[in-house]
Structure 1
Amino acid sequence: AMGQNMTMGTTAYASLRKQFGVAIKEFEGVQKPLARICGFSYIINAARLHTAQSLGFGEKPSVPSAILKYHSTEMGRQIALDAMDIHGGKGVMLGERNYIADAYTSIPIGITVEGANIMTRNFMIFGQGATRSHPYVLREMELCAEAVNDETIARFDDVFFGHVGFAITNFSRSLLLGLSGARFANAPVNNSVSHYFRQLDRLSSAFALVADTSMLTLQSKLKFKEMLSARLGDLLSSLYLGSMVLKHYDNRGCPAEELPLVTWAMDHLLHEYQVAMLEVLQNYPNRVLAHVLKRVVFPFGARFEPPSDDNVQQVVAIMTTNSLTRQELTSGVFDEPIDTNPLGQANAVFLESFAVEKLYRKLGKAIKSGQLEKLSGLALIEAGKLANVLSETEYRQLIDFDAKLMNIIHVDDFDPSEIIRVPIDERSEPLRDAS
């Protein structure tokens, strides 16, 4: 919810707030964090919706829950920081029009409560996933705990040799798919995101290979290699979150308008996977194995790039208009424009801005033609009325809109009497000891 709130508020504010006569959403320095807010919110929302569905089917998704707990709060932390950066002083002054500060100050709670994120990343995600998500390891461990007899040995042999075959298959698939650029990987759909499905298929084999190799070579030492375990968990998390993004997009019918957001999310997650994998191999205890694994996983080097500048601008363009994508990503947010809901007021003014945009364009044309002086704000509106550029109705519409706009973009201020500490009257009766 926090990500959706910040998406609604920040896209609205960046569209309404102008600097040097230009909406700050047009500045590339603002566009990058703004796209990151939207992209992270999309990832969180997709993962939340589809992980929650598994609960409805009676599942107990402990590993996905740990992944969501860690990554949604860490992405939320970045969302709050980016939103604060874009809002500037408006996000700092703790007044009645500030819809940023509460989210910003709540971040440490999500990070530390119900399993501190340090513990979740270092112990929980891969520590549980290595056994619970593995097709053979958990059964091998269970069989090892049973009494030794011919039946147990036979069952263990079946599972063990299945595990060996699984490892050989992953080695072969990782090498083949790496050499071919995942061209022969599986993709359940044939559309604009098919290549992402194929890359996830390729990288899943690579993850399984590296995870199996780590468990085989490090054995019980693996649980003490917390930095290695954390990075292996990052690999698993990137794969899971990527699959949730693609599942969400497919369930929504693959709308073309939404594709830039999906592209941003997938490029980010694949790049994060690559960073984590390179760090795993760079710090792998067995250097010979690390060299071999790197050649298998990335035979042509690190090829995954983070979201491009063009993609960032596409995301911002979609999310700073009243698009269906923005409506979907912010659905469920309380947006009633009442006095006690400044976020709803900001969104209402954002939506109203499209209705008055043509009037501001009319004033701009009058300035270019020399009919009006180069003014701004109320002065420009008043001049437009006096020069008969605006009708009475248009004038009233802009005056009303400007008042609402100023209420949104102005930083909260306080009368000195509200913030000066009043000294205790020395003549008043002192507090008595309750005992």
Structure 2
Amino acid sequence: MTVTILLLGFACAWLLAFVGAALWSWTLGGALLLLLLALFDALSPGALIVLAALGALLALLLHLPALRRNVLSAPALRVFRKVLPEMSRTEREVLEAGDVWWEAELFRGRPDWQKLLDFSYTALTAEEQSFLDHECEALCALCDDWRIEYEQKDLPQAAWDYIRERKFFAMLIRKEFGGLGFSALAQSAVVTKLASKSVTLAVTVMVPNSLGPGELLMRYGTEAQRAQWLPRLVSGEAIPCFGLTGPEVGSDATAMPDLGVVGYGEHQGQRIVGLYLSFSKRYITLAPVATVIGLAFKLRDPQGLLGDPARIDYGITCILLPADHPGVHVGRRHYPGAAFMNGTIHGRQVFVPLDAIIGGVAMAGKGWRMLSECLSAGRGISLPALSTAAGQLGYRMVGVYARMRRQFKVAIGKFEGVQEATGRIAGFTYTLEAMRLLTASAVDHCAPSVATAIAKYQMTELMRIVVSSGMDVLAGKAIQQGPRNFMATGFKVMPVAITVEGANILTRNLMIYGQGAIRCHRYVFEEMEAAHAGDLKKFDRLLFAHLGFAVNRAVRAFTLALSGARLARSPLRGELAPYFRQLERCSAALAFASDLTMGVLGGRLKFMERLSARLGDVLSQLYIASAVLKFYLEGSRSPAELAHARWALEHCLYEIGQALGAFVRNFPVAPARWLLRLLLLPLGNPYAPVSDRVNAQVADLLLEASDVRERLGGLVFKNGGPHDPVGRMEQAWQVAEECERAYLKFFHLANADALRGDSVAERLDDALARQLLTAAEVAQARRYDEARYEVILTDDFSKEYLAGDFAAESAERIEQAGLHARVA
């Protein structure tokens, strides 16, 4: 009987821990257990008295806050303050920048899925949709990517003029200041469409709308600064750039050597207090053409002229000044693999009035906070849009090529080896669009710093895979550069997206989990605040809530792992329910792993980047899977949608399993490592790579017309006509839809040696003459074959043209050269 009661007590305790019961429930449960032991004489009276006394003492200790604080929390606070990692002012500003959003639910081990289901994507206004349908189409039509990248190394003047005239630089500037006032989602859609035509065009437009003076002025500028600069930015009279990075500083702003020293100087004939600036900036997009320059630098006031004699070092500060300000030198251009304007800015002892500080003197030293808040939102718009454009373009164009290109008498898209690559393109493009919609819509609601960091890192990495996979499938078609090549520029410029707005190595290893573990955790950030402030009362409340949280997540992680997530919750029934449950299991695992890691390693975790990066990978994949679930549920829920969603979700779970496995294997403290393995992976890693069956499904769908193909290609610029690389492929797809049946009938006859002749034209004539094909079928087969040949064709050039004499060969001559060489 004693064993039975104890087992029953253990089961009840496990249930209480699993559901996260309140402290009074545990106290009542303990009392009931003692009562049962007494009623059934399961223990001796002496043992019962000892247990009752210990239980009562423990209950008093836990239920009386004043006693608990003095006995337990005060010593814990002293220990916590010793192990609390040192945090620089810059780190703190980065940490506090932005908001927490859905990623916090994922981090806390028990997501409230209804919040995700109830979240609404941003709806484009009629004005925004019209801008996409008309202004963006018109701007794309003005650009020839081959001429931009190879011949002119710049946008055509007509495009520059149109950008200014139609306020492309003022999408984020609110209407009250004369701008377009577009939503984040609308900006994302605009950049995606422009990038499908020209990366240089997209980057030129996106940078002033991502990290530019316009947003800084709206958020922090003085009325005078807004009045001076915003009308010029809106009209396009002023072209902006922002100088942040330099030879000594990339991702680490604290290493910035650029310095502004407060002192007296001459400005416009008057002696005033101002700043002597010395700076050297590089990698600055639009710098070579900018008329207004934003600069970040470290501010120092050795004479106390700003009003605080005790404060010399103010920290990072931002200013805005004309590009032709005396002493400012705009240097020569960089060439970062694409033709967008990028270059250097430098100056020595440049005197600037104090009113150039964005926000005025009150904002001196607050520059990094300002930049972090703008970047945290910008990361969710611009580079995710570029990445999505690469995915959508790859999905549609590789689909055309893989359908129409035949080797060994079979469409190459049907080869299993090729399907490995095309399956990745399909699955990741679905993922990219899902993330773009969710993240940009989130930016319209708040400034989700962790979610946007995840989006920037993960989406640019997925872009790298999609573009590389497309290059593998297209082979020579993608290698040979020229007016027909729609892939080469994206391949060349891919490292730019990986590097900028926080290099991907930094973002993965430091930002996602470093910021996520503190900001997204239910208690850690507040505990740190209470510890820094020495607030014992608040620390006590948080500490014991945190302990209960940790026990609950440990039990949930283990229970869900043992049950194969069958005991987890799903907000819906049907085909996606298993994925919701598996993700809840992984969320519980992340929550417990985080608590144990921070408890065991403390401040050392800050320097164990590979370990923390793996937990960041788990958080990232949970976010990606959430985006995919939302995207599917907001779509048609067709069989094609389901196949793509399954591919994406299975990949997310596999990546989570890999990250958790590597995290446990490499945990540096053996007892904790054994506990992690027991609770998180008691039956080993249950997640496998995407199955061949699911991969073949989406690879086949890449070759077919479907609702998913249209949903994933909605922002691709398709109307360039037969002389545009994308327009040519789009027309070929339409021909395939209309004529493929007739061509395949001819193709099978030709391969069966049923037709006479050496060329396609001769065999078609023979088929018509012998009435093996009708006249309509022959016409359709000819049309298909012409389109097929255009799809596989690449460009060639004269040596004079390649040497730089672009007048030596016309575009028409280049386009016709390959057609003239045809013999088949």
Q: TM-score, normalised by structure 2?
A: 0.49
> Does the aligned pair in 2 maintain the 1:372–1:387 contact within 8 Å?
no
% identity of equivalent residues:
37
> Does the aligned pair in 1 maintain the 2:614–2:663 contact within 8 Å?
yes
**Which one-letter code corresponds to 2:395 in the other structure?**
T
Q: Cα–Cα, structure 1 residues 232 and 371, in superposed 2: closer, same or farther, change >3 Å? A: closer
Structure 1 residue 23 and structure 2 residue 411: aligned?
yes
Deviations, residues 36-57 of structure 1 (Å, cap 9, x unaligned): 0111111111111011111222
Deviations, residues 230-275 of structure 1 (Å, cap 9, x unaligned): 1111111011111111111112253332111111111111111111
Q: Cα–Cα, structure 1 residues 177 and 421, in superposed 2: closer, same or farther, change >3 Å? A: closer
Counterpart residue number, 1:301: 684
> Does the aligned pair in 2 maintain the 1:94–1:412 contact within 8 Å?
yes
1:283 to partner: Cα distance: 0.8
Counterpart residue number, 1:168: 551
Deviations, residues 80-118 of structure 1 (Å, cap 9, x unaligned): 111001001110111110001011111010001111111
Structure 1 residue 192 and structure 2 residue 575: aligned?
yes
Question: Which aligned pairs between 1:284-323 and structure 2 lie closer than 5 A?
Answer: 284-323=667-706
Q: Cα–Cα, structure 1 residues 106 and 284, in superposed 2: closer, same or farther, change >3 Å? A: same
Structure 1 residue 51 and structure 2 residue 439: aligned?
yes
Higher deviation after alignment, 135-144 or 340-349: 340-349
Counterpart residue number, 1:108: 495
> Does the aligned pair in 1 maintain the 2:621–2:652 contact within 8 Å?
yes
Structure 1 residue 99 and structure 2 residue 515: aligned?
no
> Does the aligned pair in 2 maintain the 1:336–1:345 contact within 8 Å?
no
Bigger-Rg structure (1/2): 2
Q: Matched residues in 1 for 2:404 and 2:720: separation?
A: 16
**Which one-letter code corresponds to 1:122 in the other structure?**
N
Counterpart residue number, 2:448: 61
Q: Give the secondary structure class of the aligned counterpart of 2:729.
A: helix
Higher deviation after alignment, 130-139 or 372-381: 372-381
RMSD over aligned CA atoms reads 1.9
Question: Which aligned pairs between 1:22-421 and structure 2 lie closer than 5 A?
Answer: 22-57=410-445, 59-146=446-533, 148=534, 152-364=535-747, 366=749, 371-373=754-756, 377-419=760-802
Q: Matched residues in 2 for 1:289 and 1:166: separation?
A: 18
1:329 to partner: Cα distance: 1.3
Deviations, residues 156-196 of structure 1 (Å, cap 9, x unaligned): 22211111111000000011101100001010110101000
> Does the aligned pair in 1 maintain the 2:650–2:689 contact within 8 Å?
yes
Which stretches of structure 1, 4 residues or longer, exceed 6 Å deviation after superposition? none
Q: Matched residues in 2 for 1:96 and 1:253: separation?
A: 36
> Does the aligned pair in 2 maintain the 1:14–1:23 contact within 8 Å?
yes
Larger RCO (CA under 8 A, 6+ residues apart): 1
Q: Matched residues in 2 for 1:156 and 1:368: separation?
A: 79
Deviations, residues 12-64 of structure 1 (Å, cap 9, x unaligned): 1101111011100010110011010111111111111011111222x111101
Deviations, residues 171-230 of structure 1 (Å, cap 9, x unaligned): 000111011000010101101010000000001000011111111111111110011111
Q: Matched residues in 2 for 1:370 and 1:84: separation?
A: 34
> Does the aligned pair in 2 maintain the 1:91–1:98 contact within 8 Å?
yes
Q: Matched residues in 2 for 1:353 and 1:301: separation?
A: 48
Counterpart residue number, 1:425: none
Q: Cα–Cα, structure 1 residues 299 and 366, in superposed 2: closer, same or farther, change >3 Å? A: same
**Which one-letter code corresponds to 1:19 in the other structure?**
Q
Q: Cα–Cα, structure 1 residues 293 and 348, in superposed 2: closer, same or farther, change >3 Å? A: same
1:402 to partner: Cα distance: 2.0
Deviations, residues 372-402 of structure 1 (Å, cap 9, x unaligned): 2597733432322332333444333332332
1:367 to partner: Cα distance: 5.1
Q: Give the secondary structure class of the aligned counterpart of 1:169.
A: helix
Q: Cα–Cα, structure 1 residues 218 and 377, in superposed 2: closer, same or farther, change >3 Å? A: farther
> Does the aligned pair in 1 maintain the 2:587–2:622 contact within 8 Å?
yes
1:413 to partner: Cα distance: 2.0
> Does the aligned pair in 2 maintain the 1:322–1:351 contact within 8 Å?
no
Q: Give the secondary structure class of the aligned counterpart of 1:51.
A: helix
**Which one-letter code corresponds to 2:656 in the other structure?**
Y
> Does the aligned pair in 1 maintain the 2:743–2:780 contact within 8 Å?
no
1:421 to partner: Cα distance: 7.2
Q: Give the secondary structure class of the aligned counterpart of 1:269.
A: helix
- Structure 2 unaligned spans of 5+: 1-388, 806-824
**Which one-letter code corresponds to 2:490 in the other structure?**
A
Select the structure that is richer in helix: 1
Higher deviation after alignment, 249-258 or 283-292: 249-258
Select the structure that is richer in strand: 2
Q: TM-score, normalised by structure 1?
A: 0.91
Q: Matched residues in 2 for 1:299 and 1:378: separation?
A: 66
Q: Cα–Cα, structure 1 residues 165 and 377, in superposed 2: closer, same or farther, change >3 Å? A: farther
Q: Cα–Cα, structure 1 residues 191 and 374, in superposed 2: closer, same or farther, change >3 Å? A: farther
Counterpart residue number, 1:431: none
